[in-house]
Structure 1
Amino acid sequence: MMVQTVTKTYSFEDYLNYRDDSDFKYELLNGELIQMTPASGWHSDIIDFIQEQFKIEIRRLNLNWVVRPGTVGVRTGIRKSRIPDILVMTETQRQLLRTLPSAILEEPPLLVVEIVSPNNPEDDYRYKRSEYAALGIPEYWIIDSQESKISILSLVSGFYDIVEYRGEDIINSASFPELKLTAEQILNAL
């Protein structure tokens, strides 16, 4: 006799209201809760570095934007929600989140950054790429230490155009056009 385990399927509403007694964060993928593993030290250094660089530019340009490191989710489908490593949103979106039970945007943020985990690069290069494009997120960065590159994806007519940067290449961001960082600086969190 074969024993079959049944996985509970969550609606987006279930996900918004889900609470357990842990400090774990979860993404929702096709109705299934996916526990996010804690970041590595290198991963955290990159998040801190980019977050700080974005904050400096936002202050310098007096933009009405807010940066969040892995604390705000983005609804990417009927039963899908992702939590990017870094997210840049408007102040209006931040104010809206304060009124909601869970910090999950249903409208596209300005920019998301994902740092590739060695065990699942396809997640960032394929699945999140298509989900973020479908939602209409204008700019998506993929930081890949295994390949020693930064990919900047810009939304054009519903699809992402991609430019890859390595070494001393200065990245070109539509959201932060005056940001002068090289791929090496980002990868080494310098």
Structure 2
Amino acid sequence: MTAVDERRMMKLFENLDVPEGIKIELLRGNIVMMAGPDVVHNDIVEAVVDQFPRKKWRRLQTQDVALPQESSEPQPDLVLVERGSGPDSGRLMPPEVIRMVVEVVSKTSVDHDYVIKRSIYAAGKLPIYLIIDPIVAHCVLLTGPIGTGETADYRSQSIYKFGDPVPLDQLDFVLDTSEFRTLADVRRHRRP
């Protein structure tokens, strides 16, 4: 994609009139639309948000992330930024202030969360990417981003079953997963 094509795509993306209940993201120049999340999904995000004290953290939901080098503006389920960091207004959060992004997997987002966003977030040098998967009842903790473009990845990957604590050493924090529930009647996948 040329620079002119990227600018056109960004302009189109920014000006789309999206119906309520539809989530939209720009992932490597592709506009991706998904239905709104399941209650299980929202409960998991809420359980994570509740654990991070508001006085120390900005716990931003539906916050777009600026990753222009990737032609991407993903919208993670949760963006964690230290209080006092980042812009006070605007649609895009710069990657250099983000401490962690969280994605909760849905039945339609498996490949996006495990493959596409994994390389996008690694290329954007986001230090912690936490995938919470209510389909297979585990969390995948990714740290140490390396590389560029589609081959970017994380040096470290650890998997924790729901109910087990997830040590977020870079944040000096342990995430309690005991409240996380699974999605009913969804076909299991084989990721990560």
Indicate whether the TM-score tops 0.5.
Answer: yes
Query: 2:163, 2:179 within 8 Å by CA — same for their partners in 1?
Result: no
1:75 aligns with 2:75: no
Q: TM-score by structure 1 length?
A: 0.75
Q: Percent identical across equivalent pairs? A: 24
Aligned twin of 2:115: 126
Q: Distance between the aligned counterparts of 2:173 and 2:93, measured in 1?
A: 27
Query: 2:66, 2:92 within 8 Å by CA — same for their partners in 1?
Result: yes
Structure 2, unmatched stretches of 5+, are 1-6, 148-152, 183-192
* Equivalent of residue 19 in structure 2, options 18, 22, 33: 22
Aligned twin of 2:29: 31
1:179 aligns with 2:174: yes
Aligned twin of 1:88: 80
Q: Please, which moves more after superposition, 172-181 or 31-40? A: 172-181
Query: 1:139, 1:174 within 8 Å by CA — same for their partners in 2?
Result: no
In the TM superposition, structure 1's runs of 4+ consecutive aligned residues that sit over 6 Å from their partners are none
Bigger Rg, which one = 1
- Matched residue pairs, number? 166
Q: Distance between the aligned counterparts of 1:81 and 1:107, measured in 2?
A: 11
Structure 1, unmatched stretches of 5+, are 1-8
Greater strand percent: which structure? 2
**SS of residue matched to 1:187:** coil
Taking only aligned residues, the RMSD between alpha carbons, in angstroms, comes to 2.4
1:164 aligns with 2:159: yes
Paired AA for residue 93 in structure 1: G
Over 3 Å counting, the alpha-carbon distance change for 1:174 and 1:94 in structure 2 is farther
Q: After TM superposition, give the deviation of residue 10 of structure 1 in Å.
A: 4.4
Q: Distance between the aligned counterparts of 1:73 and 1:21, measured in 2?
A: 15
Query: 1:143, 1:151 within 8 Å by CA — same for their partners in 2?
Result: yes
Query: 2:168, 2:175 within 8 Å by CA — same for their partners in 1?
Result: no
Query: 2:125, 2:145 within 8 Å by CA — same for their partners in 1?
Result: no
